[in-house]
Amino acid sequence: MDNETSETHDRGVSELLGLVLLFGMVAVGIAAILLAGSVAVDSIQEEASVSSAQMGMHELDARVGDTASGPVGIDLGSRDGAYRVVRNGSVSFTVNEQANCSATTPLGSVQYHDRRGNRLAYEAGGIWRLDSDGGVSMVSPPEIEHRDGTLSMDLTNISGQFDGGQAVMRSAETDDEDIVEQLYRGGPGCFPPENITVTVESRFYEAWGRFFADRLNESTTVVDDSTGTASVRLPIDSAFAADASNDSVTSSTQFNATVELLGTELSGLDNSSEIAIYGLTTFRIVADGDEYTPWPDGDPDDGIAAEAAEDDVNDPTEGEHQSYQLTDREQGTAITVRATSWTCNDWEDSYQDITVDGTSYDQHRCEEANDKRISLNSSGESSNLVVLEDGEAVPNFGAAGAEQRGLDEILGSRIDGTGTLQLAPNEFVFLYELSEENADPANAGGSGDPDYNDAVVLVTIEQSWNNTGDLSIRIEKDQIIVEDDEEENSLAVP
């Protein structure tokens, strides 16, 4: 009997334990299901919240263009996150990989943050996403296109401050100089453009880098984690071209021309009287037959004075450097500079001295002109005028007298040690021989004439900013301010 009772008791305990374990397993299963369901629901809610925020960003993007007509209301409210303006980025541009040909503009954005660490941004016209796991991606691309050597970019910069929810966007004037003009006018070597590097500093730089690499053809992309930047270098095929022929310079597009007199060295020494005599020289700038005489009095329309000595640019009392600009000239307009040297009836002391080889000389200028000595009037027919461009060899460095500068000194860094010009593609040097008729540049060596330093003029051709024909680089910048709607959200979009 005792053995039967014991066995019955053991079976009862086993059944009870099995039942307990069964209920435990069911409870654990239910808990796991509830937990999984909770996680799934939370994940669905998270994605729904982010998706809603993305729709808000798309709405913002769609309405930016409407701000040109006045303030625009937007509704960026969210239960799970907050919107705010973030101003910690920038976009930099560099032409021809030269530091002096650069411009930088701030890059502000509207960003959405939720409690899980997700982040969205409307930045530079694109929409970008940073997930809670750290992944960065592009939701919608910015307005950047590079095709056939042409770059087009619409850059939207956001500023302002608001608490999220309903807000007002409006356009604002920007004081920034036109970006493209700023790039081109950075100095020699900036124009015409051969390439442009765009560098974006942003929290979403990794996605910017992928966009550059995937969407912009013929590009070189660099992503720098240490600086939080992505850069792309793009080849540019400018429609602008300047050419020299027949002693004139022309452009393929509407243009501006800057004409600079770098120096005049038409002089001689009278050692017996210790006098330095400066030969009378006058200039006319010619644009398709129209003549301008701005030097030295600054009036381009007064012609050469009846007494030519009044327009002498070789007067030692005048400033040696002269400049004049022609603006908005039509393509194909021929620009040249005509020089005339004169014989002189009378000289006068300028009361300025020059020291040559330890001897002081009184500088005498022409007081009364006589006849024209050498006048360069025809186009391309006189060897007394030589027009050179980048990479060409200049006549030898000899100067006719010890008091004069040679071409190497006048041109300075524009000429290298081998006598080769180092110019930008839109720069041209005019060299004049005004002492010896029918001069030959091949004979411009050593002392004496010809030396082609009697006058040196630099002509620079630049794109006219009233011209829209050359769109090889087009960067448009929109400044948008986002603020709280202070008029009880009357402009808000439902």
Over residues 261-272, the pLDDT tens digits come to 999 999 999 999
Task: Establish whether the linkage from the previous residue to 450 is cis, with ω within 30° of 0.
Answer: yes
Q: Is residue 253 a contact partner of residue 464, using CB atoms and an 8 Å limit? A: yes
- The answer to whether 386 touches 428, Cβ cutoff 8 Å, is no
Tell me the average pLDDT of the chain: 85
Count of positions (residues) in the chain: 494
The strand pair at 275-278 and 359-375 is best described as parallel
Residues with Cβ within 8 Å of residue 13, at least 6 apart in sequence: none
Give the separation between CA 327 and CA 335, rounded to whole angstroms: 12
Query: Which residue did the predictor score with more confidence, 229 or 471?
Result: 229
Q: What's the rounded mean pLDDT across residues 104-133?
A: 90
Cβ atoms < 10 Å from Cβ of 244: 19
Q: Are 56 and 127 in contact (CB under 8 A)?
A: no
pTM of the model: 0.70
| Pairing label, strands 473-484, 150-161 | parallel
Q: What is the pLDDT of residue 9?
A: 52
Distance CA 304, CA 284 (A): 8
Residue 398: pLDDT above 60?
yes
Model pLDDT for residues 399-446, shown as the tens digit of each residue: 888 899 989 999 999 999 899 999 988 999 999 999 999 999 888 876
319 or 267: which leads in pLDDT:
267
* For range 200-213, the mean pLDDT: 96
> In sequence order, which residues have a C-beta less than 8 Å from that of residue 343 and are 6 or more positions away?
280, 369, 370, 371, 372, 373
* pLDDT score of 339 more than 70: yes
For the stretch 292-302, pLDDT in tens is 999 999 999 99
3-class secondary-structure state, position 375: strand
pLDDT above 80 for 15: no
| 332 pLDDT tier (thresholds 50, 70, 90) | very high
Q: Which DSSP state fits 97?
A: T
What residue has token string 């604002």? 172
pLDDT of 478: 87
What pLDDT is recorded for position 163?
A: 78
User: Quick check: 486 pLDDT over 80?
Assistant: no
How confident is the model over 151-159, as a mean pLDDT?
Answer: 91
Distance CA 37, CA 19 (A): 26
Closest CA to 423 of 249, 196, 225: 249
The mean per-residue pLDDT over the stretch 118-126 comes to: 92
* Terminal-to-terminal C-alpha distance of the chain: 85
Given a cut of 50, whether residue 491 has pLDDT beyond it is no
Residues contacting residue 177 through CB under 8 Å, at least 6 positions apart? none
